[in-house]
Amino acid sequence: MDKKKRIVIALGGNALGNTLPEQMAAVKITAKAIVDLIEEGCEVVVAHGNGPQVGMINNAMAALSREDANQPNTPLSVCVAMSQAYIGYDLQNALREELINRGITNIPVATMITQIRVDQDDPAFQNPSKPIGHFMTEEQARVAEEKYSYIMKEDSGRGWRRVVASPKPAEIIEIGAIRSLVDSGQLVIACGGGGIPVMRQGNHLKGASAVIDKDFASCLLAEELDADFLIILTAVEKVAINFGKPDETWLDDLSVEEAEKYIGEGHFAPGSMLPKVQAAVKFAGSGEGRTALITLLEKAKDGILGKTGTRIHQ
């Protein structure tokens, strides 16, 4: 590569596994792909999702409160914080080991427990739709509504689940510390699970019952760090229009305007590819020379080299 590129890479659930043993195995594969980018001369910052992990933690803490009347209910924001540390622990150890295995000993790895401010007036709070936690009977759901003020919704005949808002990220609280670490040459893991959602109350930051989309959080992180690339990893090598139809077309290179046109035409599924493309468009349109790439984890290096993936740029 001609010059060192600063990259924010957003890891999805497939890069982390669904259980403790799966995560231990998955992060080793993930670390290899990330260190490949470092060997190409890139400066990498890692963000990640936490869907299975935060659900597991939330269920465990809920079970504890049911078994022991003296244990208060654990706020979702605290569960997100726990997931950041737990995932960061495995991920930073896997990255450190892979770096040392390749003879790279001058790049420290650190996980930053990251809070992200959300706006209490965000319209997402008026229509919570993100399922969290275990399935319940209708009777159990009514008890949860009354006891914990949860918002419960019936989920496609499978039972009742708690739903929370998914507001847009407004501010990364620890961005100064993250920037200092990145500028000093460290490999930083930040904004895990989309960040711990908080609201500002004077000088106090109060946890919010919400889940922030990790792709939008990664976009904000990339903007704040003045990254050259935002890589959003997904389950397919490229983005497609008319996905699953006879005229399905895989996309290599898109302008922001072209991507916005396809979004408007409804080509991308909400809750799946849509937020990834939206985040990619937002980053690519946020400054000169910024490129978003959507691809598979194992294709990230080839994507940066222009060999595959879907690139979105101005």
Q: Could you give the residue numbers annotated as active site?
A: 13-14, 130, 214, 276
Amino acid at 191: C
Handedness of CA 179, 191, 170, 280 (dihedral sign): positive
Whether 39 and 20 have beta carbons less than 8 Å apart is answered as: no
CA-to-CA distance for 252 and 99, rounded, in angstroms? 31
Other CB atoms within 10 A of residue 149 CB: 9
What torsion do the CA atoms of 53, 59, 61, 62 make, to the nearest 10 degrees? 160
d(CA 209, CA 164): 6
**Distance of alpha carbon 207 from alpha carbon 116, whole angstroms:** 10
Vertex 206: Cα angle to 204 and 209 (nearest 5): 170
Cβ-based burial of 151 (10 A; exposed 0-12, middle 13-18, buried ≥19): middle
Token couple for 248: 């399905």
Smallest Cα–Cα separation from 215: which of 198, 194, 229, 195? Answer: 194
Helix boundaries (H) for the chain: 20-39, 51-67, 76-101, 138-148, 175-183, 214-224, 256-264, 273-284, 300-304
Which residue type is seen at 233?
L
Contact in structure between 54 and 36 (CB atoms under 8 Å): no
Quick one: residue 93, left, alpha or beta (phi over 0 = left, psi -120 to 50 = alpha)?
Answer: alpha
Q: Which token pair is 308?
A: 């595959």
